[in-house]
Structure 1
């Protein structure tokens, strides 16, 4: 079953600005990417298309997870109303999509000005970790109160997929907030001396939500969330990912990408014109396993040559299996000609 993402179903005033932009003919390659992500996906409640056209980010992330699961060689059974994805073969798996959304009254993730560029990345990452925890906890409550009672969910590994859309430039946070949220480990660039060979890292157990309220971090550091098998996370499955994958070689766009650089704490940076730029669907994605999971994911089920997969050793060390050129951050700059 296929459905039409791009015939407007809501009036223009209620359409998300990226959706309105996508209707322009020049973005036909980007529409093709989203239609490809939607293959096999079904609008089970009859509201997905309208919500996609109005809110965009949550629908974008759900479509991305649909494509990612198929990139892992999995075929979700869309006959179930919930959770979002139920996989039967080769091993059972349930996946629920969530986004780290802006705090109430916070700025939307799309569009930014110079004023939005953070001057304090520690604060930027703290707030991002709080938004991740908020989304994670909401899905855990839903699992405990409802999903776990469903016969097609019971006794299956349960994964939460979290996309970072909590503010303008959310992709700058990269993996810092998800490592703090799940494993209580924070890499602190602001505390790292110039010329250091390693980024200063330390354990964190909470982050301040307000002057009187702290939110626990290190959600995978004990068995309190044993029903969650893993988290799939990306800060780069955004409009930028759609543009990166679009077959539009004539676009006047430069992609600046950041990659690990061996033992050097400074990343390797590349600038590439669109015509020569290549990016994989799963570039920038993390699979973060819960060492206390009651139902761990079968070994290798979510492994992929382009993905960073994180396990915890018996001594507590994080074991990260990632490609040498793993995509840490991607930014793009386009030139638009005026008549």
Structure 2
């Protein structure tokens, strides 16, 4: 599959696709080409969509690379869903991304003057966009996929990546925890009170457009038992390509945040590209549904570098993640002219 020979007009190409074609990003192109090995363009539209929309296709290629990392094999003879895993575990994955609301800025549009704004509003809106994407795939599952032979009586996983606004990668796990488990970490209240622990509480809804309540905590009841788990990342982005690219001379500085066992303030690490190392699955979450009709054993999607979350019978959330789990990554690059 040739991703980088133009088949659409320049003015229709996605800004990140235009950027990655520049000569200096040869190593990032190599990462994508490696991810794409074995991936099949079943409807002969993927390359066109990659060049015009980029982010949904990036997420699909990332998921394909994730499955290869675990040794799973997908049967691409089926037109839907996106991944039908046939060896050595059988399950299905449908991919989607959280997109901006109509009329709002895309994820790639931030600049030096772009501000995060109120953190609670940022997190709430991010959770709404995730929920919207989740529900659209549940509708497809119930109306079509559940009736197909390749999906019947198998675990079904929805994979969601955050591309819903500028700085969407800053959302980390806050919106997905609220959307799936109804647990909200209130950063504004924590910062205002100088608390020694993050102020957290349960939420059952978020407000859309100032008036409509949208349900949160979707994995807290049996209502969505037909979904076994959610795969989630806010970091499977252009930054992930930059992090994995084998180009140690790139004039880029990486700053990352990892958990701090002694404080609510995370550990901060800074490294030049030549000294920076990141795994494909760093920053990835698998959130399991305790009410799933077809639950997934932990080893099916598990890996030492990612986080898995389970809800216990008492409602407590159990996170299994490496001590240096990647919470946030951003980078600063020099552009020579």
| Count of aligned residue pairs for this structure pair | 336
The partner residue of 1:147 within 145, 148, 155 is 145
Moved over 6 A (4+): none
2:184: which partner in 1?
A: 186
Q: How far does residue 69 in structure 1 lie from its aligned partner after superposition? A: 1.1
Matched, 1:110 2:108: yes
Q: Distance in 2 between matches of 1:204 and 1:115?
A: 32
1:20: which partner in 2?
A: 18
Question: What does residue range 1-339 of structure 1 map to in structure 2 within 5 Å?
Answer: 3-192=1-190, 193-338=192-337
The DSSP-based 3-state class of the residue aligned with 1:122 is: helix
Q: Distance in 1 between matches of 2:211 and 2:165?
A: 24
Q: Alpha-carbon deviations, 1:88-131, whole Å to 9, x = none?
A: 12221100000000111110111312443212110000000000
Give the alignment's Cα RMSD to 1 decimal: 1.0
Unpaired segments ≥5 residues, structure 1: none
Q: Distance in 2 between matches of 1:63 and 1:334?
A: 25
Q: How far does residue 244 in structure 1 lie from its aligned partner after superposition? A: 0.4
Q: Distance in 2 between matches of 1:292 and 1:168?
A: 34
The DSSP-based 3-state class of the residue aligned with 1:79 is: coil
The DSSP-based 3-state class of the residue aligned with 1:91 is: coil
Q: Distance in 2 between matches of 1:191 and 1:298?
A: 37
TM-score w.r.t. the length of structure 2 is 0.98
Q: Distance in 2 between matches of 1:322 and 1:303?
A: 10
Q: Alpha-carbon deviations, 1:165-200, whole Å to 9, x = none?
A: 001100111000000000000011111155422100
Q: Distance in 1 between matches of 2:211 and 2:16?
A: 38
The DSSP-based 3-state class of the residue aligned with 2:65 is: helix
Maintained 8 Å contact 1:93/1:158: yes
Q: Distance in 2 between matches of 1:89 and 1:103?
A: 38
Q: Distance in 1 between matches of 2:210 and 2:126?
A: 17
TM-score w.r.t. the length of structure 1 is 0.97
- Cα gap change, 1:138 to 1:296, in 2 (>3 Å): same
Larger displacement relative to structure 2 (14-23 or 168-177): 14-23
